[in-house]
Amino acid sequence: MEKQKRIIIIGGSAAGPKTAAKARRLDQNAEIIILQKGPDLSMASCGYPYYIGGTFDNRNMLLSTPTGVVRNPQFYLNAKGIDARVNSEVTRIDRAEKKVFVKNTVTNTSESLPYDKLVIATGSIPNMPPVPGCDLEGVTTLHSMKDVDFLRGIRDEKKIKKAVVIGGGLIGLETCEALRLAGIEITVVELLPQLLAFLDCEIARLVENHIRSKNTNVITNNGVVEFIGENNKLKAVKLSNGIELDCELAVVAVGVKPNVQLAREAGIDIGTTGGIHVNEYMQTNDPDIYAAGDCVEVINMITKKQVLAPYGDLANLEGRVAGENIILGNTVTFPGTVQTGICKIFDFTAGATGLTEDRAKENGIDYISVVNASPDKPGFMGGKLLVTKLVAEKSTGKIIGAQCVGPGDVSRQITTWAMAIKGNLTVEDMINADLPYAPPFSLAIDHAIATAHILQNKMKGRLKSISACDVREKVNNKEDVYILDVRGSDEFEQMRLGIGETLIPLGALRKRLNELPEDKSTEIICYCKISLRGYEAAIIIEAQGYSNVKVLEGGIMAWPYKREK
């Protein structure tokens, strides 16, 4: 029998245990040790907000297998044959001697452990703004089970009235929802001009509108400059614009950074992103040391640039690759990410895959994009709205990104587009996609396919569209545009933009063409609820010789600004 290998894995959250499990399945003889700094193993950290918000009450579910067995050292030993040690902090990696120094944080004893292969899966550390008051009671992040217990306690005690969430990213908004559900008054503070930086601003704004509709305050373009305390307890958050928000709780969720100190001290290459640099085998510059999870940088498959992608799903996939390669040699590769993400925010879901328009621009890609608003399924099945922004490479039509938000089934939409990117598909390829259709699940022409149709029309020059941002700017600048709402008058009574538009229902348009501006070069912007009728109106008007007719992308349903009604 081969000499028994010793595998040491630093980190017991997501990537670490997955690496260990895969390694064990490929080698029943190897000694596999997980060294976990904290007291828990394999925590379902993406589930924290749902425990805090009360979606479920059994804390153990965050730490258990699906059949309810807690993933503690005993479980790892018995079920997996893995030596998982908790409260075991690695203090140093000695690459020359191939050993790690580990301190038991309970007994305070130290030892050194030699390894054949080492895997660094040290995860990430939450960012904290460098401002006074971070250590006040009532200021927390949401990163550890300790944080979870603290926040769940706040929910259960029902004492706190007001909280501020610093950071309008994914975790910030999930936390916002959890605390709001507990009846706490919330203000979300975001440094950038928009929430959810993985969305373009006009799409993010639809989410912001939804959050506000839940009696939640949102302040963008503002950072925290001080946590103000009294008797060491938080009593307010002071913002860069001078405003002080009274609150008893502040949750800081301004992103995470890779936890790379150990790696850096050991001379492992750190990339410009701040993450450990690995090759496609998840191997660092030391051939006996691999790394996986939030602590590494990975390649964005569209831009070919290294990025940080601290997602739980990728941590598992990377761990699986590392686990196989440490046992069998470099046999399998991790291809990288397109940074697919999704989150639930009250009754909305927001998701994205690939590049936004902003990211495409930053990367110098010549792109074309469109916004489509339409339901996920027929009205008679209770269809709910989806707003999708699709981005494609202009010259080739290759899909490079999609964002989707709304109360509808965003998950299926983002899955569709993530797979389209995976398959290197173009807008043309998506035109006749054969997706599962039945009324409980989709429209006869699925929202994704309809989005492709609209972008195809735009690429073929048949649809000249204009974004909500651009329309609003024209209105603000009092430009000479003729804005035409072609919905029914009953719809107009119920809801309308109020940006100087004229109402001519589509069904009456052919008879009322004489009401349009005489000058055929006038810029005319058509829309309806979702801009399908708007599109048909534009075609009718163009056929009359008008040369500058546009359609408002996504119609009223994708309009992210204040409406008259």
Residues 185-244 interacting with a copy of itself (rule: CB under 8 A): none
Contact with a copy of itself (CB under 8 A) among 4, 39, 54, 55: 55
Helix, strand, coil in percent for the chain, rounding step 5: 30, 25, 45
Residue 181: burial class (beta carbons within 10 Å; 0-12, 13-18, 19+): middle
- Of 14 and 100, CB closest to a copy of itself: 14
Asked whether position 15 contacts a copy of itself by CB under 8 A, the answer is no
Name which of residues 27 to 46 contact a copy of itself (CB under 8 A). 28-29, 44, 46
Give least dist CB 185 to a copy of itself, A: 24
Give least dist CB 386 to a copy of itself, A: 13
Q: Using the Cα atoms of residue 265, residue 267, residue 272 and residue 275 in order, give the sign of their dihedral.
A: negative
Name which of residues 69 to 128 contact a copy of itself (CB under 8 A). 69, 75, 78-81
Name which of residues 305 to 334 contact a copy of itself (CB under 8 A). 311-317, 320-321, 332, 334
DSSP state of 234: E
User: Residue 50 to residues 38, 151, 175, 348, 368: CA-CA distances in angstroms?
Assistant: 21, 11, 9, 15, 37
Give least dist CB 167 to a copy of itself, A: 17
Name which of residues 512 to 541 contact a copy of itself (CB under 8 A). 529, 533, 535-536, 539-540
List of residues 6+ apart from 503 with CB closer than 8 A: 484, 485, 486, 487, 489, 492
Asked whether position 335 contacts a copy of itself by CB under 8 A, the answer is yes
Q: What gap in Å lies between CA 268 and CA 284, rounded to an integer?
A: 7
The answer to whether 239 touches 133, Cβ cutoff 8 Å, is: no
Give least dist CB 500 to a copy of itself, A: 23
466: β partners: 552
Contact with a copy of itself (CB under 8 A) among 86, 338, 387, 391: 338
- Of 13 and 187, CB closest to a copy of itself: 13
> Cα 403 to chain center, whole Å?
10
Structure tokens at 349: 């879901």
Helix axes 170-181, 145-157, angle to 10 degrees: 30
User: Residue 304 to residues 311, 335, 351: CA-CA distances in angstroms?
Assistant: 18, 11, 22
Give least dist CB 7 to a copy of itself, A: 16
- Of 383 and 406, CB closest to a copy of itself: 383
Asked whether position 442 contacts a copy of itself by CB under 8 A, the answer is yes
368: β partners: 392
Asked whether position 453 contacts a copy of itself by CB under 8 A, the answer is yes
Phi, psi of 383, rounded to the nearest 5 degrees: -50, 140
The answer to whether 165 touches 195, Cβ cutoff 8 Å, is: no
Q: Which stretch binds a copy of itself (CB under 8 A): 65-73, 108-116, 152-160, 244-252?
A: 65-73
Give least dist CB 556 to a copy of itself, A: 12
- Of 162 and 210, CB closest to a copy of itself: 210
Total binding residues toward a copy of itself, as defined by CB under 8 A: 100
- Of 227 and 311, CB closest to a copy of itself: 311
350 to 389: interface string for a copy of itself, x by CB under 8 A: -x-x---------------------x--xxxx-x------
Name which of residues 138 to 177 contact a copy of itself (CB under 8 A). 170
Contact with a copy of itself (CB under 8 A) among 12, 17, 341, 555: 341
Contact with a copy of itself (CB under 8 A) among 445, 459, 466, 495: 445
Nearest one of 90, 88, 110 to 266, comparing CA atoms: 90
The answer to whether 53 touches 177, Cβ cutoff 8 Å, is: yes
* Type of residue at 91: T
Q: Which stretch binds a copy of itself (CB under 8 A): 95-103, 159-167, 211-219, 483-491?
A: 483-491
Asked whether position 348 contacts a copy of itself by CB under 8 A, the answer is no
> Cα 178 to chain center, whole Å?
17
- Of 248 and 318, CB closest to a copy of itself: 318
Structure tokens at 400: 């490079």
Asked whether position 281 contacts a copy of itself by CB under 8 A, the answer is no
Contact with a copy of itself (CB under 8 A) among 287, 439, 498, 500: 439
- Of 286 and 324, CB closest to a copy of itself: 324
Asked whether position 461 contacts a copy of itself by CB under 8 A, the answer is no
DSSP state of 62: G
> Cα 349 to chain center, whole Å?
10
- Label the pairing between strands 124-126 and 296-299: unpaired
Contact with a copy of itself (CB under 8 A) among 39, 110, 437, 515: 437
Ramachandran category for residue 135: left, alpha or beta (phi over 0 → left; psi -120 to 50 → alpha): alpha
